[in-house]
Structures are given as structure tokens and as C-alpha cells.
Structure 1
Amino acid sequence: MKLLLVCGGQSTEHSVSRMSCTNIRKKIDDTRYEVTVLGIDQEGTWYHLDDEVKDYASDNWLNNAKEVKEIFEFLRSFDVIFPVLHGMYGEDGTIQGLFEMAGVPYVGCRVNDSANAMDKVITKKLIDAAGIKQVPSLYVKKRFDDEFVIVNDDTTEEKDIVKKVMDTFGVPCFIKASRSGSSVGCYKVNKEEDILPKLKEAGQYDRKILIEKSINATELECAVLGNDDIISSRVGQILPHGEFYTFESKYEDEESATCIPARVDQSIQDTIRKEAVRAFKAIDGHGLARCDFFLDKDTGDLYLNELNTLPGFTNISMYPQLMEDFGISQEELINRLIALALER
């Protein structure tokens, strides 16, 4: 079977994608698949990577690479595609639409579910409709005249953002670019006067921004796998070194850690496993996702934070660790994901 891995991309998570792809390539059974790796640089140029390159996270990842110009013809030469792409143009339904047009099966969520999960504002609406509890939040839009406005549930707009935030839940709060991942474009705001400056910083990553109430939370994660009959893993716990789980905490800070199973009551873990499946169904998910939750240390309330439909696959990423704990090795996980892609 001819398998194409796709990595890199133009998002802020470009480097994570290349690390994930390196790890996945090492775990693939070469007796089962004929593997080709396609790399997309940050300018959007597509390259057929040289077979001799083994570390796609290295500076020489494009050594002897050949530019791909006839993209549709190239894609159609494969039986299945595994997009190892995180963030914009990889996890948001755009490249999934390209694969659909090319008529090639691919791993992971389809166009609509990818787009819905990538957009935190849309995800909030779908999860709310499913009756799953979420942290209180406000939606801010950066208009095309560069003015920031609050968008209410009835679509009316308000200009006094600071007053709205302070009246609704105050500070501290979090400001998040709606369609960014790995905590890029995410800021904790502790003072009222910092709301607008941080809002403008988040606006560099997206025109849609979420402002959320800050809670004193334990961060918990659950992996789901399947198309119709969805399984959920045991629950893992994030132990960040710092105030919250930033990009640096995830990939650069050796003092940040994870543990499986999570250090919370079994009843809470059972609830999370059920809610993760419900959330995945709420976005009409297919294939895989990592579902992230907050457990309020002060009240005991459980909140869904977000779903990641193409979670990290680095050697320290939670999704493959959770599946290994569940009894599914990374080699078998890759096989199952490809089988789920071909099943649709």
C-alpha cells in the first residue's frame, strides 16, 4: 500500500509537525507500506523529501528534496494519506478539502469536523448544544477595519470590551486566538489594563479571539479513536512547569511532565472518558482526537477545554502515550488510523 506522510506546513506549529512526522515514520511497518514523505515549507512550497533524510525536524530536512508542482497528480498516486499537520492549513479542514477533491482517503477528521474543532468559537457552540459544561467565555472579533468588538450570542456587537470582560468574569482571564494551537497566541491576563494589549497580540494570529475566565484547574486529557464505534483511553494529567501549559512548557521545558493515569478520583476519570466521546460526536468527529479538560480545584467542576483533531505525535506527546497505556502500540495505532481512513 502506498502511504504518503505530509508534514511541515505554514502554521505556527510547523516545527511540531516535523517532530511528529519523524516519530511516526520510525514507527511505520515498512513491510506493510511503501512510504513517501512530503514536506511543506513555511512559504507553502511542497517537496518530495529524500528517503535518506530520517530526521524531519533537523535543519537539513529539505536536502535533495524535489519540488512537487503537479500536486493533484502527485496526491492521486497514493492509496492513503496521513496528514501530520497541526494548526492552520493542516488541522482546519483546508488540506482535508484538497484530499477530498483529489479523491484520496486520509487519516483523521473530515473537512467540517476539522474546521469546527479548530475554531474554538464554533466548538463552544457545538459543545454547548450537546450540554457539555465549558468555562465561561466571550467572543471577540477583529473587524476588517481592525477594530475589536465583542460579539454576543444574538450577534449584536459591543465596543467596550474591557467593561464587558470586567462585568462578566473579570481578571485573571485568558485570551486565545480562536484558530491557533499548542498555546500559540494564548495569554494569561492578570490586570485590567493588559486586556487590550494582549487582545491585539492575539489578533496577530486570528481575527476571531476567545476570552475565557481563568480557573484554578488541573489539566486532564483523554484520547479517542474511531469512526462510528469510538473508544476512549484512560485519563492523563498535565503537570506544567509554570502558570499554564505554554508552547515552551510542552516542547522545551524538561521540568514539565505528564502522568497516566491522572491523579484524580476514578469517578472523575470515568466521567471524562464518557464526555470525551460525547464531545467527539458533537463535532461529528472521525478517526482521532485528543480531548482536553479542566478540573476546577476550588469547586470540583469539570469543563471541556478543547478538542485537537490532529494531536501531536512527538515522542513526548500525550495522544500516543494514552493509546499505548490503553494497550495500543504506536505501530498498531498507525495501522488502525489508516484502516479507519480506508473505512470511510
Structure 2
Amino acid sequence: RADSLTGHITLSLILRFYTVWAGIIRADADIADIPMILQSRYDHAELKSRAREVGFASLLTKPVNMSHLFDCIVSALNVDGAVPEPVSAHNILMVEEPRFSGLRVLLAEDNAVNQKVACMHLQKLGCQVETVGDGEQACRALATDAFDIVFMDCQMPVMDGFAAAGKIRESEKRTGKHQLIVAMTANAMKGDRDICLAAGMDDYMTKPVSLEKIAAMIERWSAGPDHGGEGSLQENDENKTGVIQINLNQMRDLFGDDDEAISEILEMFYDSMKRIVVDHMAGALRDRDGEAMYALAHELKGAAANIGGENIAAVCLEIESLSKEQGWDAIRLHLESLKSVLDDVAQLVAGLGVKG
């Protein structure tokens, strides 16, 4: 009761899950001037900012350190005589637990910038994040610690994400466990779902990653095995929409409305792609000829880029990189993806009036 508290309380310590009481305190004019300290397991910038907005003088993180507690008390009481503005209970409830508080995430990403961005998104969602720079490090981390979910970049040095997923699945044959693994890929090609599934991933999302993409992915899988399970990749909206493999607008910039010329170029590209992928790349894969594979990927990449096939070119770029590292398992999966794209290109050619 306010009438029994006035004059007896100098400071209030609000536990993280009881911020509603802070709203009650601030809404009552008799006790609204009592300084408040918010106690939480987290200390990320957004929480600190929102806590200040709703009237908390300081933030005390767990586990409680006596020196930190003392500093928080001094900070809360030494406010230059200013009395916090009354804040409604409605506003105080905005200081809410992050959506995925305590979720343990392993992030495997070799690019420093991409790693930092993804890590910030995950931390903003309340996740506890451990980062590694290649697939080998990811396997070591999983051997010594437990994680709720792994976000795995597909192309990394030392050991790529595909090989790492395969190694993890092999070890699970002995343990009987199943680690949730979500692939992060720079491509958005139709065959990527099958590539990731064959490699042992549970799901995948395309780069650039965003807060919304990550949150939706965790939301889907946190619902339990009914929303995704072993060997069953999710068909999310991003994957269902399909990807335009050839950008006709780019071709029309070059040829205007001359559909005959566009059809002729696309037919030539289809024949060339079929020859490179089905005949020559398959042979280079069989012979483990990295030099030949690089040259073929480079040839197809240039042709695809010239007709607006950015996704095809991106896969070829990855094959170039993999051919230098002898990443044959991943190359094989990429070739399967390119073969599936051939059907799409053939349909596009047929739709423009030329047989593929």
C-alpha cells in the first residue's frame, strides 16, 4: 500500500520478470519518486535504453557482483535531485524479456562483417551466441558444448558447412542425438533446398540475414519437432516463391523488345550450359580435376552474368573457390543444383518461342 510505504523506502530493486510493479510504482504519485534498479540476466544496449526510458535509474546484471551492486545503488541514489517523470504501467511493460532469452546459438561464419551482423541480431533477440570461423571449429565446439541451434555458413575455409554438417550427422549415429542446423547460403536457387537436405541441414536461409529472417527461423523450430524434424527441410515462404534464374529485364536493356534476338541468345546459353554442366563439369568431378573445374565454372559464370543469370553466376563463383580447395562433395551438390536450373532455362526458352 502506498500510504504504508511512503517515507520508508529509499530504493526499489525490480526483478526482471516483475517490471509490472515498476509501472505501478511510477503510476502512483505518492511513491513515484522512489529510484528503481532493474535486475536482469542481460545487459545489451537495447534493454538499457528502454529501461532508462521507462524510469529505471540503473541496470543490475546477474550473477550479482557486490561491487556492481554498490555502483548501481550509488548511481540510482545520486540523480542530482531529479525525480523521474511518472510513467504509465502500459509503457513500463515495454521492457520485456527478449524473444528467445537464454537460447544457446552456435554461429559458424568466416566473414568477420557477416559474423558481427548476425551475432548482433541474435543477441538482440536474447540469444547467447558463440562464434566460430569454419566448419572444423564448429564440430569441435559441438563436441564440448550443447547448443539449441547452429547457424552454419555453407562456404568457409578449412571445412565448409556441407562437410561439417555431414561430420556432425555421422557422429550422431553413435550418440543418437540430433543437432538442429540451419544453413546460411549466398544463393537463392531452386536446388539449394535439396543441396542442404542432402548435406544434412535441417533448414536454410539466404543471405543477407536479417533480424526478421533469424527470428522467423527460430520461431519455426522452437515450436518443436512437429514444425520440422530430422531430414525434413522447411518449405518456408522464401523457398516457395522460387527464383528467377534469368533476368529478362537486363536482356531487354540490351536488345529492347527484340524477342527473337533474346530467344536466340537464351537458346545458345542453354546449349552451352548443358554442355558445360552435364558433360564437362561432370567429367571434371569424376576425375577430381580442380583446374578443369575452375575453368569451366569461370566460363559459365561469365556467360550467366552477361544475360542476367546472377544466381547461376553466384553458384559458379562458389565452385571456383571450392575447386581450389578440392571441396568435391560440395561441388557435387552444386552441380545437381545447376542441373535442376537447366529445366527452368529450357522452359524460359520455350516460352519465348524457341525449343531448348
TM-score range for the pair, normalised by the shorter chain length: under 0.3
Q: Quick check: which has more Rg, 1 or 2?
A: 2
Could you say which structure has the higher strand fraction? 1
Higher RCO structure (Cα 8 Å, ≥6 apart): 1
Could you say which structure has the higher helix fraction? 2
State the TM-score, normalized to the length of structure 1. Answer: 0.28
